[in-house]
Amino acid sequence: MDFAFSAKEEAFRTELRTWLENNLPQGWLDGTFPLVKDTKDYELFLRQWQNQLYEGGWAAIAWPKKYGGRDATLMEEIVYHQEMVRVNAPALVNYVGIHMVGPTLIHIGTEEQRARYLKKILTGEEVWCQGYSEPNAGSDVAAIQTAAVKDGEQWVINGQKVWTSFGHMADKCFLVTRTAKFEKKHKGITCFLADMHQEGVEVVPIISMDGHHDFNEVYLNDAKATDAEIIGEVDEGWRVIIALLMHERTGIGAQVFTLEQQFNELVDLARQATEDGESLLTKQAVRKSLMDLYMKTRGSLLNYYRNLTKSLKTGQPGAEGSMDKLLVSELTKQLLAQSISIQGHQGLLWKDDAVVGKSYWQDNYLYSFGQTIGGGTSEIQKNTIAERILGLPKDMGR
């Protein structure tokens, strides 16, 4: 297989690299940019960065040009992800909107919905979250209890969502509700494009073990929605959910490039760290563990390329995205655990006491546990792979 990029793709890389050099915040590349997280200032900074991407034509390159994208090819998307990882670009505050809601609206939504929502997704004017997970449903999206009942011209929604990423920043929510009960639980589901700022929506922060506020609980108490805010058909929302999840897991799979970058950073960490006056890279056990991680991360990358090749042929993301998601999230956790181990006692230090990178590795290690849950747990991914790729019978426990 030829892994080289074409002249057109390399020209695309040069264009993006030049734009990033000219538009990243001053001090970003040399690490002197004063960034404070978990504040309104940080949210404003991320929204401004999103709008800057839009103005430069880099907010959603894979979208059709008529909706504000660049009609980028899958290979150009790969180049895009590689370059963004290379400079550790600011986080995409509207990740849910760009990679999930927007593509789903383009695929399934009405022209009125596209005109209403797509541009504001690109500019960062409206940030999106997902209303999927519920306290008693685990990873079973179809086992939802949040109910939407038609009342005249409106739908009245009551229920609770949990682990809602970006919920504290979100203006809109891709909300999954139960609108009818059938023998098959996948029937009777309806998806709404709900307003997060209305009366009847309460967002409660969940502080994770790394001390950050990434997740939220969302309480819906007589929240309202209209027919115009339904995506797809009433009671036929499962098809919409599947379409969105395919886009989500494809986007998560592209994190293989972040994994590759973190492996290189781990090698640098081992080179700089010493024991008895010698670099840890001289230690056989450390070299063996790094080689094991290298083979796994390289295998993950090659598997991603294989699945990408299939997508190039079919034009649609497939169940193979579950393979990429499973490998990347589990390997990321292994790699970051190794980073803590390599630091020895210093790996236990926290925040300002941390010797290496002001707890960069500690923060990412703790966050990595959530990566094996978000976007579908590792167990769910294994079931998907077994049933939809290997053709094995369904899990009898479900």
Are the beta carbons of 141 and 241 closer than 8 angstroms? Answer: yes
Structure tokens at 347: 């790996």
126, 229, 248, 320: the catalytic one is 248
The continuous run of DSSP H or E covering 190 comes out as strand 189-195
* DSSP E strand boundaries for 259-365: 274-275, 278-279
Residues 6+ apart with CB under 8 A from 210: 362, 363, 366, 367
Question: Pairing mode, if any, of strands 172-178 and 128-131?
Answer: parallel
HSE, side-chain direction, 13 A CA sphere, residue 250:
26
| Spatial distance between the Cα atoms of 323 and 332, rounded to a whole number of angstroms | 14
| Of 23, 14, 21, residue with least CA distance to 80 | 14
Q: What are the tokens at 286?
A: 């450390």
Is 233 tagged catalytic? no
- Write the CB contacts of 53 (distance below 8 Å, at least 6 apart in sequence): 59, 92
Q: What is the DSSP letter of 230?
A: E
Cα within 13 Å of Cα(20), Cβ side: 21
Residue 343: burial class (beta carbons within 10 Å; 0-12, 13-18, 19+): buried
**Secondary structure of 33-63 in HEC code, one letter for each residue:** CCCCCCCHHHHHHHHHHHHHHHHHCCCCCCC
261, 339 contact by CB (below 8 A) = no
Tokens matching residue 373: 């849950």
C-alpha 36, offset from chain centre: 21
For residues 351-365, b (16+ Cβ closer than 10 Å) or e, as one string? eeebebeebebbbbb
For residue 370, what are its two tokens?
A: 């959530």
Active site residues: 248
